[in-house]
Amino acid sequence: MQHKNFKNIDKVVFGRGSFSMLSDIIAPVRKENKNYFVFVIDAYFKGKELVKRIPALPEDLVLFEDVDAHEPTTQQIDALRNTILAQKGLPSGIVGIGGGSIMDIAKATALMLTNEGSSTQYQGLNLIKKPGVYHLGIPTISGTGAECSSTAVLTGPVKKLGLKCEWTVFNQVILDPELIASVPNDWWFHTGMDTYIHCIESENGTLNNAFSHAYAEQALSLCRDVFLNEQSGRSAQNDDKLMVASLMGGLSLSYSEVGVCHALSYGLSKILDYRHCYANCVAFQHLEDVYPQGVQEFKKMVAKHKIVLPQHLAEEWSEDILTKMAEVAYNLPHMWHQAFGEAWKEKVSLLYIKDLYKRL
């Protein structure tokens, strides 16, 4: 029997104002490679107060990335890597400041700085050949768990799949809940629900064990405080809780896996460009037969925060679109295995998945 021997984040700081520790944390790393740092920042922060607090030295590169146009792509990472190497050579490290998109951009770029060729050739498990440069993540929106996962999800010409290996995991994460206060309400909800759905899928799957259960149970309890219980809603205390829930939801998946909702979500993202967390919410509401209690509770949270999710989307989708999305989803065997066990093919077919999409 092989058990997972997973790689955790090397170091984690949690606390309000901990962003201020960034300068001291990266100082010793500056002696590596060409002695400069790259800061990759969500373009939302351009001109905002936070940028003034970034401890960039004159030799550092500060790059703003627009994450609204699309989710991170292989082409984008290749271009970023080429720009960095052409301008200044191999950096000491990369700091990513932003949401799941920027976390993945920072992780993928750190790897691609030392691995030749296009990132498309490394989409998959353990295909990366060499460790990347030091990378540090500072999440500014909570829910995806990208701050602790061993994958950097990229959309390529053929597949939406992560660069997944031990070296993908951040060397350091700074969790400062002050940074998520400005997240717009709909993103706060959709991205927060990614954690909730990670935990429901982790708990209700065949790979769940005491380790993943412990994290998922605690993350679910924090999610209920943030989105469901009497004190739910936007507050400093709930931002603290959501940031920890995101991390714990992610850690739950290090032993367990996501399931049916995420498989559908990947099809929606790859074929129709739906954003990951929004796509999850769109799909999850219709999976009451697979995750009965989870979906019921999810609907209460949707109602409580007056979130409007679209209905009757499938009426607009051709058979061709449905087939393409079903093919993307079918090709995620680890998710179906998690949901239905080793014999998942007895239940899951393209037809079954197309029928799930038709509910949306």
Coil, strand or helix: which one is 213? Answer: helix
Q: Could you say which DSSP state residue 2 is in? A: P
Coil, strand or helix: which one is 137? Answer: strand
Q: Between 190 and 354, name the residue whose CB sits nearer to ligand NAD.
A: 190
- Identify what 96 binds: Zn ion, ligand NAD, none; CB under 5 to 8 Å per kind: none
- Identify what 137 binds: ligand NAD, Zn ion, none; CB under 5 to 8 Å per kind: none
Packing angle, helices 185-203 and 210-227, rounded to 10: 150
Q: If binding is defined by CB under 5 A, does position 71 make contact with Zn ion?
A: no
Q: If binding is defined by CB under 6 A, does position 179 make contact with ligand NAD?
A: yes
Query: Long-range pairs for 302-307 at CB < 8 Å and ≥24 separation?
Result: 304/227, 304/228, 304/232, 305/185, 305/189, 305/227, 305/233, 307/186, 307/189, 307/190, 307/281
Q: Are 134 and 29 in contact (CB under 8 A)?
A: yes
Query: Nearest residue to Zn ion, using CB?
Result: 194
Counting residues that bind ligand NAD (by CB under 6 A) gives 30
Q: How far is the CB of 195 from Zn ion (least distance, A)?
A: 8
Q: Could you tell me the two tokens for 269? A: 């993202």
Which residues within the stretch 48-107 sit at the binding site for ligand NAD (CB under 6 A)? 67-68, 71-72, 98-102, 104
Options 80, 84, 95, 180; binder of ligand NAD; rule CB under 6 A: 180
Q: How far is the CB of 163 from ligand NAD (least distance, A)?
A: 9
Coil, strand or helix: which one is 174? Answer: strand
Given the rule CB under 6 A, which of 118-126, 174-182, 316-324, 328-336 is the region that contacts ligand NAD? 174-182
Q: To which H or E segment does residue 97 belong?
A: strand 93-98
Which residues within the stretch 102-121 sit at the binding site for ligand NAD (CB under 6 A)? 102, 104
Q: Could you say which DSSP state residue 3 is in? A: P
Q: If binding is defined by CB under 5 A, does position 201 make contact with Zn ion?
A: no
Q: How far is the CB of 320 from Zn ion (least distance, A)?
A: 26
* Cα 29 from Cα 228, distance rounded (Å): 42
Q: Could you tell me the two tokens for 53? A: 């607090």
Q: Could you say which DSSP state residue 41 is in? A: E
Q: Between 60 and 257, name the residue whose CB sits nearer to Zn ion.
A: 257
Q: If binding is defined by CB under 6 A, does position 187 make contact with ligand NAD?
A: yes
Options 29, 38, 136, 146; binder of ligand NAD; rule CB under 6 A: 146
Type of residue at 258: V
- Identify what 145 binds: Zn ion, ligand NAD, none; CB under 5 to 8 Å per kind: ligand NAD
Counting residues that bind Zn ion (by CB under 5 A) gives 1
Which residues within the stretch 232-261 sit at the binding site for ligand NAD (CB under 6 A)? none
What is the DSSP annotation of 18-36? GGGGHHHHHGGGGGSTTS-
Give the CA count within 13 Å in the CB-facing half-sphere of 55: 12
Options 194, 239, 240, 257; binder of Zn ion; rule CB under 5 A: 194
Q: Are 31 and 133 in contact (CB under 8 A)?
A: no
Chain residues that interact with ligand NAD, rule: CB under 6 A: 42, 44, 67-68, 71-72, 98-102, 104, 140-141, 144-146, 149, 151-153, 179-180, 182-183, 187, 191, 194, 276-277
Chain residues that interact with Zn ion, rule: CB under 5 A: 194
